[in-house]
Amino acid sequence: MPSKQSSLIVCLDANVIISGVAFGGKPGEILSRLFAENFLHVTAPNIIGEARRNLTVKLKMSGFLADVLLAEVIENSSYLNPAGNLKAIPHHADSKVLEVAIMGKCDVLVTCDKKHLLPLNSYQGVIIESPAHFLKRLESLK
């Protein structure tokens, strides 16, 4: 019988993946929980591409290491291709992340984006929350 946690469908924004890989902390704990299959995860090429770009360009990680780490994320995820038609917010890249969460029928979109995504709180039934709030949610489902 699946746990309440494992039936939770989640989309992690690229900034959560980047922070988890590079710095650990709460985003790192979320990645550990993803790999332990504590929840179902949905991602897409736009999210993985942004994570790879930032890991290699801004954080100077080798392309090989970034690819290995991101392959682990993909392996533990359902992989979708958003059309890019959603125009929920002015920032196209963030609208596309939101589109992935909606397409994947996610319960939660986890992001560190305080400018465009977190202020929404929710959109079309998808709860939008920070890594800290998401970890509290996981704990409450135990």
pLDDT at residue 141 greater than cutoff 90: no
Specify the number of domains making up the chain.
Answer: 1
Domain that holds residue 22: 5-140
**Which residue type does 102 have?**
I
Mean pLDDT of 103-107: 96
Cβ pair 106, 42 in contact under 8 A: yes
- Give residue 2's pLDDT: 43
- 71's enclosing H/E stretch is helix 63-75
Q: How many CB atoms lie within 10 A of CB 93?
A: 17
Token pair belonging to 54: 């930032």
pLDDT of residue 1: 32
pLDDT of residue 88: 75
Model pLDDT for residues 2-34, shown as the tens digit of each residue? 455 568 999 999 999 999 999 999 999 999 999
The enclosing domain of 106 has a CATH number of 3.40.50.1010
Q: Are strands 40-43 and 78-79 parallel, antiparallel or unpaired?
A: parallel
Residue 5: predicted pLDDT: 59
pLDDT tens track for 40-88: 999 999 999 999 999 999 999 999 999 999 999 999 999 998 887 877 7
| pLDDT value for 53 | 97
Count CB neighbours of 22 within 10 A: 17
